[in-house]
Structure 1
Amino acid sequence: MRTTHRPLTTLALALSLFMAALEMTVVSTAMPTVVSDLGGLQSYAWVFTAYMLSSTITVPIYGKLSDLYGRKPILLFGIGLFLLGSIASGLSTSMNVLIASRTLQGLGAGAMQPVVLTIIGDIFSLEERAKVQGAFSGVWGLAGLIGPLTGGLIVKYLSWHWVFFINVPVGIGVVGLLVFCFHEQVQRKPQKLDFAGAALLSAGVVMLLIGVQGMGQNLWALLAAAVLLVAFVLVERKVAAPVIPMSIFKIPAIAISAIAGALFSAAMFGATTYVPLYVQGVLGGSATLAGGMITPMIVGWPIASVVAGKLLLRTGLRPFIVGGLGLTVVGTGLMALLFKPDVSILVPEVAMGLFGIGLGFASTALLIGVQTSVGWELRGVATASNMFFRTIGGALGVGLMGAVMVSQLMKDPRVPISAANELLGPEHGRGLPVDILQTLSGALGTGLSINFWIICAATAGAFAASLFFPRVSRGSGTGLPATDVAAPH
């Protein structure tokens, strides 16, 4: 059995997460320009939700497969799909092709984060893992710093297509490092995949997303989602190895963390999707400036996460959960109240910074609350379930906000929605007739204003849920060190 080269393997794992983190900031920066080139503003949200949906649904499946066949082949398979999706996204000639390519990209990304975190647990002891997790939190901060600038420079000097192509050389390097440096001895386990549960969950969430984006016009999809999800719960109660064990939600800390996580993720993904659009489409900022609005959030998150990890065992979990989510309400309240056409660019930066710091405090404490509520044998599935609800909440939130924005743009039948694409071009719609430009600008501003109130409402709901988080005595639960926290997801 060949020995794993831990430093180079760790580098490969960090680069895998870096690709996923960079994808968020770079794509958000470039999307307004993509829309101005390909058209299809009405499909704007699907570029993000297709990626999140396909990656989220596959997380528990990849986790089971990695137990059956080993971490290495599953991670390599996921990276391969991610790179194929990246190439296809860069070659896209229409919004529909881009959405399909992003779906493929998400199918690969679904393997990357959970399997990477599993490998870290395999090759490092608990004490070593505390230091490694801190370094991996810094990966997200680094991506937050250079992502918007990178995306803006690519759009300005090359083309938006290269936003996706930059993943390819990094991904090839990661594959090479994993092939030659990471070695494992796979212990076969007699497990069966819950195909019925996975299929019902996938179909139910897709129907739910279609229904949410229909703004009341797709009631059939909501009814279908209800039937499919009820069937999913019934199946999960009977199978031996469910995708998501229903019994863990009897634990208050896990149930409340799932609710709060879904709500604050809806707000987080909504902010990263629509704040850049607001800066570029309403304030008339550049692609670089628009993408830079995400940086305060993504930098504030890991910094607050590290601080929370060091202090929460002294103070308890509740102060960071309640206080952090309260801080997110302040940040999103600034968005809802102050984001006007003539607002200073400093306001979005401050709002996103407060939002990110609050998320860093709360998400870390919630994750540790989930992990300390169960024994070792359930810790993995409890963590994966919490990740699932966070990402599903983000997908549904972005989908709902996309439907709101499109409904506002289509209110005036005299103005084709295709004209709105020009608002996001380099001329910011100056070639449009004045009356159409004013109508579209007003409609876009109104739609985004409603979305910012939705974001604020989501954080307020998460804060309300946090008030019911059980009071746990300090230091109770497990021997996990306070620094053993995960990067934001």
Structure 2
Amino acid sequence: MRKTHRPLTTLALALSLFTAALEVTVVSTAMPTVVGELGGIQSYAWVFTAYLLASTITVPIYGKLSDLYGRKPVLLFGIGLFCLGSIASGLAMSMNALIAFRIFQGVGAGAIQPVALTIIGDLYTMEERGRVQGAFSAVWGVAGLVGPVTGGLIVKYLSWHWIFFINVPVAVLTFGLLIAFFHEEVQHKPQQLDYAGAALLCAGVVALLIGVQGIGMNLWALPVAAVLLAAFVAVEKRAAAPVIPMTIFKYPAIAVSSIAGALFSAAMFGATTYVPLYVQAVLGSTPTVAGGMITPMIVAWPLAALLAGKVMLRTGFRPLIVGGLGLTVLGATAMAFLLKQGASLLALQVALGVFGVGLGFASTSLLIAVQTSVGWELRGVATASNMFFRTIGGVLGVGLMGGVMVSQLMKDPSIPLSATNALLGPERGHAIPPEVLETLSGALTTGLTINFWLICAFTLAAFISGLFFPRVQRTAGPPVSTSSAAAPH
């Protein structure tokens, strides 16, 4: 059995997370331009939610598979699918095709973050884990700096198609490093994946997304989602190898982390999706400026996470969680007040920076608390379940906000959706009649303003849930042998 090279394995995991992080920042920057070229403003949210939905549904499945069959094959499979999905997305010639390929890309992405973070939990002790997880958050900071600028330059000098192609070389390098330097000894268990539970989970989440995005038209999907998700819980309680073991929620830290993670992720994904759209479509800024608005949030997050990793053993988890979630409320409220005509863009960036600091403190502390609450045999599924609730929060939050925006645009039949597409196109709305442009801007402003106050509501609800976080003992278990990424046998 060859030994795992821990530094190079850690580098490979950091690169995999960098690829996923870069995807978020670059696509957010370029999406208004994509809509301007391909059309389909009514499908704007679906480019994000299709990707998030696919990765959300597969996160707990990958987490369970990593506990059953090992981390390495699951992560390699996910990276491979993500790479192929990126190539296909870059070749898309219509909005529907782009959404379909984003689903494929998301199926691969569902393995990257939870399995990579689980491997870190396997390889490092409690003392080391706080520092390493904080350092991994710095990957998001680098992506936050590089992503908006890269996205703006690609849109300006190349084509939006290249925002997906840039993932390929990083994914290939990561794949090679993991094959060469990460080795694990896994004791395969005679268990099978709970296919019935996985199918019910997929159907329930899809129905829930359709319901929240319908805004009156598809509300029938909400009771359908309730029935399907209730059936999922019933099946999981009886399954021999459940996708999400209901028993893990007996740990208060995991239960509260799941709720808080879903809520703050709805706010975070809402901000990264709709702030660039507002700045470009309503305020008339360039794609580079629009994408750069979220840079302070994405940079402040890892810096705060690094600090949290250093002080966590002294302060405990709870002060960082409650304080961090309180800062998200402050930042989101300031953002909602500042997103209007004539407001200072610098002040808006400061508000988003405060928002990011809060996310850095809270998210890192919540994740490490979850991993500390369980042993190796449940760490994969516990980490993946936490990631699942975060991404499901992002999916539903972005979907709900997309429904709000489209409903405002459709209220006035005199506004053709093609006019909104033209507003985001290369002519920047010059071909739109002045009276239509004024009505369109008003409707778009109203819809997006409602969304920014929804972001505030999500952060407030996350803060309230964080008040119920228990005191978790900060134990420091031994690291896994570098000759094996699995439990020692």
TM over 0.5: yes
Contact conserved, 2:127 with 2:313, CA < 8 A, in 1? no
Contact conserved, 1:373 with 1:477, CA < 8 A, in 2? no
Partner of 1:81 in structure 2?
A: 81
Partner of 1:486 in structure 2?
A: none
Partner of 1:485 in structure 2?
A: none
Contact conserved, 1:67 with 1:189, CA < 8 A, in 2? no
Distance in 2 separating the partners of 1:180 and 1:250: 39
User: Do structure 1's residue 330 and structure 2's residue 327 form an aligned pair?
Assistant: no
* Gap change, CA 1:272 and 1:463, over 3 Å in 2: same
* Gap change, CA 1:228 and 1:132, over 3 Å in 2: same
Distance in 2 separating the partners of 1:428 and 1:344: 22
Identical positions, percent: 75
* Gap change, CA 1:146 and 1:480, over 3 Å in 2: farther
Cα displacement string for residues 46-94 of structure 1 (whole angstroms, at most 9, x for unaligned residues): 1111111111211222223334443333222211111111111111111
Cα displacement string for residues 374-408 of structure 1 (whole angstroms, at most 9, x for unaligned residues): 45554443332221111101100000000000011
Partner of 2:487 in structure 1?
A: none
* Gap change, CA 1:35 and 1:376, over 3 Å in 2: same
User: Do structure 1's residue 458 and structure 2's residue 485 form an aligned pair?
Assistant: no
Residues 466-481 of structure 1 correspond to what in structure 2 (within 5 A)? Answer: 466-470=466-470, 472=471, 476-479=473-476
Cα displacement string for residues 288-308 of structure 1 (whole angstroms, at most 9, x for unaligned residues): 111111111111111111212
Contact conserved, 2:59 with 2:385, CA < 8 A, in 1? no
Q: CA RMSD in A?
A: 2.0
Distance in 1 separating the partners of 2:428 and 2:443: 15
Distance in 1 separating the partners of 2:56 and 2:303: 25
TM-score by length of 2: 0.93
Cα displacement string for residues 292-339 of structure 1 (whole angstroms, at most 9, x for unaligned residues): 111111111111112122223323333222221111111111122221
Partner of 1:396 in structure 2?
A: 396
Partner of 1:217 in structure 2?
A: 217
Greater RCO (Cα-Cα under 8 Å, separation 6 or more)? 2
* Gap change, CA 1:50 and 1:173, over 3 Å in 2: same
Residues 308-457 of structure 1 correspond to what in structure 2 (within 5 A)? Answer: 308-375=308-375, 377-457=377-457
Distance in 2 separating the partners of 1:80 and 1:469: 37
Distance in 2 separating the partners of 1:11 and 1:377: 24
Distance in 2 separating the partners of 1:5 and 1:249: 34
Q: Which amino acid aligns with 2:429?
A: G
Partner of 1:56 in structure 2?
A: 56
Distance in 1 separating the partners of 2:85 and 2:320: 38
Partner of 1:138 in structure 2?
A: 138
Cα displacement string for residues 129-185 of structure 1 (whole angstroms, at most 9, x for unaligned residues): 555434322211111111111111101100100000111122222223333333333
Contact conserved, 2:46 with 2:399, CA < 8 A, in 1? yes
TM-score by length of 1: 0.93
Contact conserved, 2:422 with 2:428, CA < 8 A, in 1? yes
Partner of 2:307 in structure 1?
A: 307
Distance in 2 separating the partners of 1:95 and 1:28: 15
Structure 1 spans left out of the alignment, 5+ residues: 482-489
Distance in 1 separating the partners of 2:134 and 2:331: 25
Contact conserved, 1:248 with 1:382, CA < 8 A, in 2? yes
* Gap change, CA 1:138 and 1:478, over 3 Å in 2: same
* Gap change, CA 1:253 and 1:177, over 3 Å in 2: closer
Q: Which amino acid aligns with 1:258?
A: S
Number of matched residues? 478
Residues 259-270 of structure 1 correspond to what in structure 2 (within 5 A)? Answer: 259-270=259-270
Q: Which amino acid aligns with 1:449?
A: T
Distance in 2 separating the partners of 1:3 and 1:378: 24
User: Do structure 1's residue 110 and structure 2's residue 107 form an aligned pair?
Assistant: no
Residues 111-130 of structure 1 correspond to what in structure 2 (within 5 A)? Answer: 111-124=111-124, 129-130=129-130
Partner of 1:190 in structure 2?
A: 190
Secondary structure at the aligned position of 2:93 is classed as: coil
Structure 2 spans left out of the alignment, 5+ residues: 479-489
